[in-house]
């Protein structure tokens, strides 16, 4: 069966540390993968997209890796801040080019 799993439902981390979130998938061959942030009571907000032929993408304090052999993406937030506390969702394109299938999400809590 096809699955997209994010490593843990919740992740607690101290301010200033690097948060690493994992997205694993089975039985998909996505052309690209995206990461979104969702705050309580709001819609998801796009953060980064990485294509199947890209190993790594960076944007400010964010870094995403994509390993199509391991079928895994890692999402890193360096120098994490309390404002980074949110739920992070990975999404794979599956089927048609515009169709996204979302992972289960990881709730990140950054404490002082």
Partner 1 sequence: DTAVSQTPKYLVTQMGNDKSIKCEQNLGHDTMYWYKQDSKKFLKIMFSYNNKELIINETVPNRFSPKSPDKAHLNLHINSLELGDSAVYFCASSPPVADYNEQFFGPGTRLTVL
Q: Does 44 bind partner 1 (CB under 8 A)?
A: yes
Q: Does 49 bind partner 1 (CB under 8 A)?
A: yes
DSSP for 33-99 reads EEEEEE-TTS--EEEEEEETT-SEEEETTEEEEEETTTTEEEEEESS--GGG-EEEEEEEE-SSTT-
Q: Does 68 bind partner 1 (CB under 8 A)?
A: no
Contact pick of 5, 7, 24, 32 for partner 1 (by CB under 8 A): 32
Give the closest residue to 106 by CA, choosing from 42, 33, 24: 24
Q: Does 105 bind partner 1 (CB under 8 A)?
A: yes
The structure tokens listed for 9 are 């439902």
Q: Which is nearer to partner 1, 34 or 73 (CB)?
A: 34
Q: Does 62 bind partner 1 (CB under 8 A)?
A: no
Q: Which is nearer to partner 1, 13 or 49 (CB)?
A: 49
> Chain-centre distance of CA 109, in angstroms?
15
Contact pick of 7, 71, 100, 109 for partner 1 (by CB under 8 A): 100
The structure tokens listed for 76 are 């890193």
Q: Does 93 bind partner 1 (CB under 8 A)?
A: yes
* Inter-residue contact 88 to 21 (CB < 8 Å): yes
**Which residues of this chain interact with partner 1, rule CB under 8 A?**
31-32, 34, 41-46, 49, 51, 87, 89, 93, 95-102, 104-105
């Amino acid at each position: 069966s096809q699955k997209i799993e994010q490593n843990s439902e919740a992740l607690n981390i101290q301010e200033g540390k690097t948060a690493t979130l994992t997205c694993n998938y089975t039985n998909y061959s996505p052309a690209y993968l995206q990461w979104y942030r969702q705050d309580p009571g709001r819609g998801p907000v796009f953060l980064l997209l990485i294509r199947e032929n890209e190993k790594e993408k960076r944007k400010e304090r964010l870094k995403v890796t994509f390993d199509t052999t391991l079928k895994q993406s890692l999402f890193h937030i360096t120098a994490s801040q309390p404002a980074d506390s949110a739920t992070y969702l990975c999404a794979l394109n599956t089927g048609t080019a515009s169709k996204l299938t979302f992972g289960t999400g990881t709730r990140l809590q950054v404490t002082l």
